[in-house]
Structure 1
Amino acid sequence: MGWLGPQEWQAVALSLRVAFWATLVSLPLGVAVAMALARGRFPGHALLNGLVHLPLILPPVVTGYLLLLTFGPQAAVGGFLESIGLGVAFRWTGAALAAGVMAFPLMVRAIRLSIEAVDPRLEQAAATLGASRPWVFLTVTLPLILPGILAGAVLAFAKAMGEFGATITFVSNIPGQTQTLPSAIYAFLQVPGGEDAALRLVAVSVVIAMGALLVSEALSRRVAKRVAGR
């Protein structure tokens, strides 16, 4: 990446850091929510499904503003986190939170589809042999849905890398602190002579996005073959 300048490389590195932690932290919750939506039958199922997919429908700026109202220094939750040294507003951790929220629907959808592709009779057979529900999940369900989990994680990572609206609204655009790759592109386009740097970052973005889509597509095909062959 020697063809990138220091500020450009800093933005790419921060984006990778933000996307990694956004994906890693949200993955366990994504699996749990996907399992609840795929297999659960409970009051509020439709409401949970709507809340999960809401970030896809709302303008990203609205999502970022809602995060600011919740986790900002003046908010109850944000003020409490600030008092214990875990504040996220205007920090890279806040960028990871915003990116994770925006990427969460894509992750859940991919994992949910893989769970729905699992033949319940396989799990029932394991249960009849005396396996507990957690053990059935770990030994039967989890290996079968692993391609879907990986596909969801890859899509979420790519989405987190490209998140802009919610991030800039929640944590601003501070070089070295919250200036992720999309924010850096926006900043370079606002100054004379910044087009070349913006174009280099656009190229990086396209490469990462295409790579993520190709990996996700390959994993999705594995899930589809499993469905067709069951």
Structure 2
Amino acid sequence: MTADDFRLILFTLGVSAAAIVLSLPFGLALGWLLARKQWPGKAFVETLVMLPLVVPPVVTGLVLLKLFGKKGPFGALLERSGIEIIFTWKAVVLALAIMAFPLLLRCIRTAFEEVPRHLEEAASTLGKTPWQVFSRVSVPLARRGIAAGLVLGFARALGEFGATMMVAGLIPGVTETIPLAIYRSFHAGDDDRVWMLAGVSAVIAFIALWIAGRLTKGRHPF
């Protein structure tokens, strides 16, 4: 493994972690709303956020490209503030966050659904505010499921290819992640590097799945 390979792996781990950190507040808020509330458009929103699981990743990447490109609604707004997204490391984080969000959200929603309502209601009757109930009762009791969602989302981000290619491009040393490096090395005929990076990806994915399995095992104490 060369120094460039080591930097590539660290970069992939870093942007994947950043993507999960970016997704977590939205996942907690939306997961709780889906698990605990009924509101107009709930089914539509739930279906919309799950689309990246089933549509081709390049389609998700194309949508992000249109939204955050210089002529897109978000891209034009950000450009006026001096922030460029497309074909930068920020685009990598954005693509990974969007692609990992459905798995993260599904785990968080399930975790909140498994929190006994009577414990939340008891906290409310003791004078706790809705935020205190959420932060001191709901989140701590759902912590194992939330942690499993973080791990699974992280693993999904590590393996993302199509959406990243669309919005960030394949720029070695700038936006290249492990999957993109595998693709480039394969076409360059560098089989040794392909298998080395594939092995690293498999090991990381195995560890992530093992941790997620341990977190979700025996999650029904009540």
Q: If the length of structure 1 is used for normalisation, what is the TM-score? A: 0.94
- Once the two structures are TM-superposed, the CA of residue 222 in structure 1 deviates from its matched residue by 3.8
Per mean C-alpha deviation after superposition, the further-off stretch among 5-14 and 205-214 is: 5-14
- Once the two structures are TM-superposed, the CA of residue 136 in structure 1 deviates from its matched residue by 1.1
What is the count of residue pairs matched by the alignment?
222
Q: Which amino acid aligns with 1:168?
A: M
What residue in structure 1 maps to residue 192 of structure 2? Answer: 196
Contact 1:71 1:77 in 2 (8 A): yes
- Once the two structures are TM-superposed, the CA of residue 83 in structure 1 deviates from its matched residue by 2.7
1:100-115 mapped onto 2 (5 Å cutoff): 100-115=97-112
What residue in structure 2 maps to residue 217 of structure 1? Answer: 213
Contact 1:8 1:184 in 2 (8 A): no
What residue in structure 1 maps to residue 86 of structure 2? Answer: 89
1:167-206 mapped onto 2 (5 Å cutoff): 167-192=164-189, 194-206=190-202
What residue in structure 2 maps to residue 140 of structure 1? Answer: 137
What residue in structure 2 maps to residue 75 of structure 1? Answer: 72
Please give the per-residue CA displacement for 1:122-157, whole angstroms capped at 9, x wherever unaligned: 111111111111111122111101111111111111
Contact 1:70 1:76 in 2 (8 A): yes
Contact 1:79 1:87 in 2 (8 A): no
- Once the two structures are TM-superposed, the CA of residue 201 in structure 1 deviates from its matched residue by 0.4
Q: If the length of structure 2 is used for normalisation, what is the TM-score? A: 0.97
Contact 1:71 1:78 in 2 (8 A): yes
Q: Does 1:21 align with 2:37?
A: no
Query: Helix, strand or coil for the counterpart of 1:43?
Result: coil
Cα distance in 2 for partners of 1:138, 1:74 equals 40
Cα distance in 2 for partners of 1:86, 1:95 equals 15
Q: Which amino acid aligns with 1:137?
A: F
Cα distance in 2 for partners of 1:139, 1:170 equals 39
Unaligned 5+ residue runs, structure 1? Answer: none
Query: Helix, strand or coil for the counterpart of 2:84?
Result: coil
Per mean C-alpha deviation after superposition, the further-off stretch among 81-90 and 42-51 is: 81-90
Query: Helix, strand or coil for the counterpart of 1:9?
Result: helix
What residue in structure 2 maps to residue 154 of structure 1? Answer: 151
